[in-house]
Chain A
Amino acid sequence: MENLSAKPPSRPTHLWVMSGAAFVLLMWSCQAIADAPREVTMGLVQKIFYFHVPCAWLLLLSTFVCAGGSLAHLFRGSERGDRVALSAAELGVLFGLCVLVSGPLWAKAAWGVYWQWEARLTSSLLLWLMLVAYVIARRYGGPSARRLAAAISLFAAIDVPLVYFSVRFFRSIHPSNTVVTTLGPGMRSAFWLSLLAFTVLWTTLFAARIAVENVQARLVELELGFDQAEETRS
């Protein structure tokens, strides 16, 4: 029987350092957003942009990381890849939800409606729904649903270029991808700082989620070992 005294560290130092860095950067970016000049036509509501775009970037990043992990699981049987994929999918659902809530709030003020069935919004909703399907399949589908979920994540990854380029290829009322290059100096620094802060936050949450998955996998391994040892004894 394996020694169970090797418990997971209760306070992993790297996670605390990363959490601290994410918190400081987020506070700093909030200050920069507050100090950034107001956009002339939209006014204060344009400040949603500083959180909305980083969340959208993290939705796309999560989908790619999830698909990468799923590919490793599908073609190499990698358990680690599977854990990476699940962690990234959960974060994709989280930040996708933030995009799909903050976007319509901005749209209501800017366009007068919460939602338009146009290419960028619809493909983003579709992407988020695929990640939700992944998480539901993993949570309620049992071990046999892992491969099915991995396949769903690959379809989600195919949707990412569609989301990104939709404003270029289809007629859309959504602002184009080049809007960042048109920002003034005060707005630009606030935007990049916010993007950095959110990326560090994502990395921290991802590392924490992976750590939980690793501990869970270790627990299952130990329980199996214990049960086998019990059977041998009896």
Chain B
Amino acid sequence: MKMVALAYGFIWLAVFAYVVMVGRRLGRIRGEMDELQRRVNRTRGNAPPAG
């Protein structure tokens, strides 16, 4: 019983850890995307009026 619980527990845990890892990576990319958006907005705010 112990071996079965260990094997199943490890597999569930590994898959869960991978899902968390991918989620965190996506969160970091979203943060970088927001930072880029802020830089663009700042640049647009400083840009001289067209024409």
A101 nearest in chain B by CB position? B10
Closest CB in chain A relative to B43 CB, distance in Å = 7
A211 nearest in chain B by CB position? B26
In the complex, A201 has a CB within 8 A of chain B:
yes
Interface of A is mostly: helix
A48-B3, A208-B22 given; A1·B29 CB < 8 A: no
B11 nearest in chain A by CB position? A98
Select which of B7, B33, B40 is within 8 A of A106 by beta carbon.
Answer: B7
A contacts, CB < 8 Å to B:
1, 4, 7-8, 44-45, 47-48, 51-52, 55, 90, 94, 97-98, 101-102, 105-106, 108-109, 201, 205, 208-209, 212, 215-216, 219, 222-223, 226, 230, 233
Residues A55 and B11 in contact, CB atoms below 8 Å apart: yes
Chain B residues whose C-beta falls within 8 Å of the C-beta of A90 in the assembled complex: 18
B contacts, CB < 8 Å to A:
1, 3-4, 6-8, 10-11, 14-15, 18-19, 22, 25-26, 29-30, 32-33, 36-37, 39-40, 43, 47
CB contacts between A and B, total, < 8 Å: 75
Chain A residues whose C-beta falls within 8 Å of the C-beta of B32 in the assembled complex: 219
CA–CA, A233 and B42, complex, Å:
14
Chain A residues whose C-beta falls within 8 Å of the C-beta of B43 in the assembled complex: 1, 230, 233
CA–CA, A1 and B47, complex, Å:
13
